[in-house]
Structure 1
Amino acid sequence: MIRLTALTIFTIASLFGCGPERYSWNQRMTVMVETPDGIVTGSSVIEVNATYCPDGCGLARDSIGSFNYRGEAVAVEVLPGQWLFALIGAPGELIYHARPDLFGGIRRSDRGQWARLIPNVTGAVELTGGLRPRLVTFADIAVPASVEAVDADKLAATFGEDVRLVEVTLDVTREDATLGRVPSVLS
C-alpha cells in the first residue's frame, strides 16, 4: 500500500505542469511576379497554431503534436483575368526551414524550442526552391476542374513571355487571417 501511494505521488509530481504547450502566430505570404506591365503582388495571412509536447511528458522526444491553420491561398492577378494561386500547404515550419540561423543554433528536431520563437521573428524571410508554395492557375477561372499546376521557375510557359516569379516571402504579422478573397476571385 505504501509502495502504491509513493508511486502515485511520484507519478502525479512528475506530471505536474506537464502538458501540451500551444504557440500561435500569423504569417503573411507575399508573392511577387514580374509582368510586361510591371510588378504585381498578392498576399494572404495565415493563422498558425502549434501544439507542442515537451520532453518528459510521455513522449520519447519533444515534438509538435499538431499544426492547425486558418487562412487561404495567395491570389495574384498576373494578367487581366489570369490568376496565379500560391497554395497554403504546410506553412508551420517554413520560417524555420528558410532561415534556421534566426533561431540561435536550435536543431530542427527541437521543434518546441523554435516554435516558441517564431512569433518574435521580424522581417521577411524569402522562400526559395522546395520551400516555395505549390502554384496553380485555372485555364478557365469559372471551371474548378480546369486547375493546372504552374512551374515556379517557368511562369512564362503558362502566362506568356516576360512573366517570371520574382520572389515569395513570409513574415510574421499581427494582421488577421485572410478569409474570403479566393472565393471572390473564383466567382
Structure 2
Amino acid sequence: MSITARPRHRRKTAAALLLAMAFLLPGCRLIGLYNWSWNQELELTVITPDGEISGSSVIRASYGFRPEWWGWGDRGRSIIAHSGEAAFVEVASGRYLFAIMSENDPAMAYETFIGPITTSREERIEGFDRLYRLRETRALPRELYPTLVTFRDINDPASVEKVDPDNLEATFGPGYRLASIEIAITSNPKSSGRIIRVIPWTKEYQSKQLDGNRYETIKSNNRFANSLASGFFTTESE
C-alpha cells in the first residue's frame, strides 16, 4: 500500500490551525505550543506645580513560542502581542504625557517581576507560568521605562516630541517631575475608548506615520514623527 504525501496547502492550513490553538487554548502544551496572556497596568505619576497627578492604562499582553520543530530559530518561534491603549496623564491644561506601547511590553512585565528573559526554554516556561498567576504592583525599573512623548499641539500628530523622563522641566517647564512609573499584573479589564477622546485623529493614522508619510523613511524631515503611527497609542479601531 502506497502512502500519498499530504498536499502542501493542507500542511500550511494545519500549521495555521495549530498556531490559532495556541491563543485559543492558553497553556495547551501537548504539541509544543505555549502561550500566556495577562492584563498589565502602567501608571504614570507626575509632580506638577499644582501637586501630584496620575494616569494609567491597562493593556492585554501575550507571549508564547511555537514548538522547536517549527523552525526559523528561537526568535522566529516567539509570539509577542499586545492590545489596548497607551498610558497617559494630563500634566497641565491641554498638555499630556504618553508612555507609548511597543513590542517590548510583555518583556517589560517579565523582567520587572521575574528577571531577565533567558535563552533557556524551561526557565521561560517556569517564569511565564509565575507571571501569568501574579497579581502584584511594582515600580518599573528605570532601564525598562517605555518611550515617553508629548505633543506641542495635541491636534497635530506631527508635533510629537520625545520627553526625557529625567528632565520633564525641559518640556513642560519648572516644577514638573516624573515621580514614578508603576507596573501591575491585574484583573482589571483592558482600557478602551479613553485615548481617542484626547487624540481623535488616531484612526486616520492607522495606515500612515505621524508626519503624514505613508511609510517610515530616512528622507523624512521629521524623523521622530515618521517613526511613529497610531498603533503606538492604541490598537483599538474605535
TM-score range, shorter chain: 0.7 to 0.9
Which of 98, 114, 118 aligns to 1:108? It is 118
- 1:127 — aligned with what? 140
Question: Could you list the runs of 5+ residues in structure 2 that have no partner in the other structure?
Answer: 4-28, 201-238
Report the alpha carbon displacement of residue 61 of structure 1 after superposing the two structures with TM. 6.3
Structure 1: where are the runs of 5+ without partners?
A: 5-15
CA deviation after TM superposition for structure 1 residue 182, in Å = 1.4
**2:65 is the alignment partner of 1:52:** yes
1:17 to 1:119, Cα distance in 2 relative to 1, 3 A = closer
Q: Indicate yes or no: 2:110 matched with 1:96.
A: yes
Counterparts of 1:70-89 in structure 2, within 5 Å, are 70-89=83-102
TM-score of the two chains, using structure 1 as the length reference: 0.80
1:33 pairs with 2:33: no
The 3 A distance-change label for structure 1 pair 107 and 132 is closer
Larger relative strand fraction: 1
Mapping of residues 139-178 of structure 1, within 5 Å: 139-178=152-191
For residues 54-109 of structure 1, the C-alpha deviation after alignment (integer angstroms, 9 at most, x for no partner) is 6x5556769962111111111100011111001112210112222436xxxx8622
Task: Using the TM superposition, name which of 32-41 and 176-185 deviates more.
Answer: 176-185
CA distance in 2, matches of 1:62, 1:183: 33
Aligned residues: 169
Q: Percent identity among equivalent residues?
A: 34
Length-normalised TM-score, structure 2: 0.64
Map of 2:81 onto structure 1: 68
Instruction: Tell me the alpha carbon deviations over residues 83-138 of structure 1, each in whole angstroms, 9 at most, x when there is no partner.
Output: 1001112210112222436xxxx862233321222122232121132201100000
- Confirm or deny: 8 A CA contact 2:66 2:79 kept in the other structure: no
CA distance in 2, matches of 1:128, 1:27: 15
Q: What is the root-mean-square deviation in Å for CA atoms of aligned residues?
A: 2.5
Contact preservation (8 Å) 1:25, 1:48: yes
Contact 2:136–2:186 (8 Å) recurs in 1: no
